[in-house]
Structure 1
Amino acid sequence: MKRILHIAKYYYPFRGGTEQIAQDCVSSLTEYEQKVFCFNHEAGSLKDEVEGIDIIRCECFAKISSQSLSVSYGIKLKKQIKTFKPDIVIFHYPNPFAAHYLLKYISDETKLIIYWHLDIVKQTILRKMFWIQNMRLIKRANKIIATSPNYIHGSYWMNKASEKCVVIPNCINEKRLEATAESKQIEVKIREENKSKVICLAVGRHTKYKGFAYLIQASKYLDDRFRIFIAGEGELTEELKREAVGDNKIKFLGLISDNELRAYLSAMDIFCFPSITKNEAFGLALAEGMYYGKPAVTFTVKGSGINYVSLNGRTGIEVPNCDVKAYADAMKELANDKELRDEYGRNGRNRVIENFLDEQFVENIRKEVHKL
């Protein structure tokens, strides 16, 4: 039986887009012997199991520009590579601290798959510092996975190794989105509390690239028919709340349960996805909104997968990046035309079912791993 070592920044029960995909990879490759090597999102080092898979979690003493640092990481990774002897390593990028040790200790016989989630965009100094490392990574890689063709074309690094790149779109978990008795009760309450209103929903971590500030600015061009619910939290939550002061159309939901998420996804009329940079490589939340048969409003983000997931004029409306007036106009257009909302919603749901469900993901990841 072949052995696969997965290297991710964090792993379940830590919640994040990259971590969810790392878990999806593990769940898809059950015919292999597998281990996961990552940082511990809590204090200290830990070895535990998730769904029967050994998880080795290294302590993290600090973070710099979102990069976790660990004193023992290199020693422990070296030990795992030496004792586990993986036939294949699946490395979730970006994670430059981990990449340093991976390149140092990976054997020549081991196949390397780089799961390229996104380019380092925001941290200009880090991007320059790790130029040589990235060149070594793509040269060493046997295969590079991108989440959309848009990202391959828009990434300097993947363009350097386009012959090694394959597209495996992210997937949504249908079971997680199935309505429950509790979610239906919450949905009824949401509809009752917002009768005659256009219910809009945005979901995500409150960080700069998610663009929630632009959604709040767009709200200033909207009339009181609209109710904009923003779910999630993050480092910008308090700043966003201050910017929205006096705008009664905007409601912050905080972190919500899966039942609450299902309820809002079902109750909404328009899904707002205002991300503004390539840091949003795909948009899993966008696909979830479309799965519920609702139209999306997005910005044009060159090189991102956003405009690959939702297609302008077919599953939603796409407007020039950071143009808050155009964003508001798109929301108004959808609010004023139920037939258009329904058409885009149907198209969006069909696009997700045909391209972005976990069944397709499992098939795609298995196919690419089996080739090695």
Structure 2
Amino acid sequence: TFGGVERTIHAVAQSTSRHGIETEVLSLSRTPDEATRPLDEHMTTKAKLDFELASTGFSREVFRKFRALSAKADLIHYHFPWPLMDVVHFQSRHGKPALVTYHSDIVKQRLILPFYRPLMMRFLGDVDAIVATSPDYLRSSPILAAFRAKTKVIPIGIDEGAYPSPTDADNDWCRSTIPGPFVLF
């Protein structure tokens, strides 16, 4: 899928490339290519998705691919939550500076959280920096409260060029159908 987290990763990779930063994105796929491939202004590597459990993809191959990619990286940027990468982080012993963009508290898998919590807290404690996506999220997250000293807020930006502009007809339809004031995101 290419949802919110994936769009954020793509936007970060695209925007940092304009500053001369080379980005390689590692993800899981049911049908991965063996080779690393370009996607717009960055490179993508896919590891085979073996199975999913509790909305989390798992892969044996990701350990090998992460180790190879992290060996040539200057910085590792994780996106949380993805429990598999917590394990990969510790297993790889990459020794590189690492940051994590914290997209969400774990809310749907509350039954699993007590078992995952020790690994999660160790992982978040081990990375060098945590990025919260809004001041309100930093303030409201009970997990981020434990890491406030190393957490910075960087709002997720929207690349207007990635979306079509509304036509005059679209605007007219909105004005005639939806009572104002109205803002659509």
Q: 1:43 aligns with which of 31, 41, 60?
A: 31
What CA distance in whole angstroms lies between the structure 2 residues aligned with 1:106 and 1:25?
25
Check if 1:167 corresponds to 2:156. Answer: no
- Structure 2 match to 1:148: 134
- Structure 2 match to 1:98: 85
The structure-2 alpha-carbon separation of the partners of 1:99 and 1:45, relative to structure 1 and needing over 3 Å to count, comes to: farther
Q: How many residues align?
A: 181
Equivalences for residues 167-316 of structure 1 within 5 A? 167-175=153-161, 176-180=163-167, 184-185=168-169, 187=170, 191=173, 269=178
What CA distance in whole angstroms lies between the structure 1 residues aligned with 2:154 and 2:76?
17
2:70/2:76 contact within 8 Å kept: no
Percentage identity across paired residues of the two chains? 19
Name the SS for the 2:25 alignment partner. Answer: strand
Deviations 1:107-156 (Å, cap 9, x if unpaired)? 33x11111000011110232112111111122112111111112112212
Deviations 1:181-215 (Å, cap 9, x if unpaired)? xxx45x38x94xxxxxxxxxxxxxxxxxxxxxxxx
What CA distance in whole angstroms lies between the structure 1 residues aligned with 2:14 and 2:112?
32
What CA distance in whole angstroms lies between the structure 2 residues aligned with 1:29 and 1:77?
21
Deviations 1:47-96 (Å, cap 9, x if unpaired)? 311124221111112211111111211122122223x2x12111011100
What CA distance in whole angstroms lies between the structure 1 residues aligned with 2:125 and 2:176?
48
What CA distance in whole angstroms lies between the structure 2 residues aligned with 1:62 and 1:136?
24
Q: 1:121 aligns with which of 107, 125, 131?
A: 107
The residue type equivalent to 1:93 in the other structure is F
Check if 1:111 corresponds to 2:97. Answer: yes
1:138/1:157 contact within 8 Å kept: no
What CA distance in whole angstroms lies between the structure 2 residues aligned with 1:168 and 1:133?
25
Name the SS for the 1:130 alignment partner. Answer: helix
The structure-2 alpha-carbon separation of the partners of 1:125 and 1:34, relative to structure 1 and needing over 3 Å to count, comes to: same
The residue type equivalent to 1:116 in the other structure is Y
- Structure 2 match to 1:278: none
2:79/2:103 contact within 8 Å kept: yes
Equivalences for residues 21-100 of structure 1 within 5 A? 21-30=8-17, 31-40=20-29, 42-46=30-34, 47-82=36-71, 84=72, 86-100=73-87
The residue type equivalent to 2:31 in the other structure is A
The structure-2 alpha-carbon separation of the partners of 1:97 and 1:45, relative to structure 1 and needing over 3 Å to count, comes to: farther
Relative to the length of structure 1, the TM-score reads: 0.45
What CA distance in whole angstroms lies between the structure 1 residues aligned with 2:3 and 2:138?
22
What CA distance in whole angstroms lies between the structure 1 residues aligned with 2:176 and 2:97?
46
Name the SS for the 1:124 alignment partner. Answer: coil
Deviation, 1:172, is 2.1
Name the SS for the 1:36 alignment partner. Answer: strand
Relative to the length of structure 2, the TM-score reads: 0.86
Deviations 1:304-335 (Å, cap 9, x if unpaired)? xxxxxxxxxxxxxxxxxxxxxxxxxxxxxxx5
Deviation, 1:174, is 2.1
1:81/1:106 contact within 8 Å kept: no
Any gaps of 5 or more consecutive residues in structure 2? none
The residue type equivalent to 1:77 in the other structure is F
- Structure 1 match to 2:124: 138
2:97/2:128 contact within 8 Å kept: yes
What CA distance in whole angstroms lies between the structure 2 residues aligned with 1:268 and 1:91?
42
The structure-2 alpha-carbon separation of the partners of 1:81 and 1:179, relative to structure 1 and needing over 3 Å to count, comes to: same
Name the SS for the 2:106 alignment partner. Answer: coil
Deviation, 1:43, is 2.0
1:134/1:157 contact within 8 Å kept: no
What CA distance in whole angstroms lies between the structure 2 residues aligned with 1:25 and 1:66?
23
What CA distance in whole angstroms lies between the structure 2 residues aligned with 1:59 and 1:76?
10
RMSD: 2.4
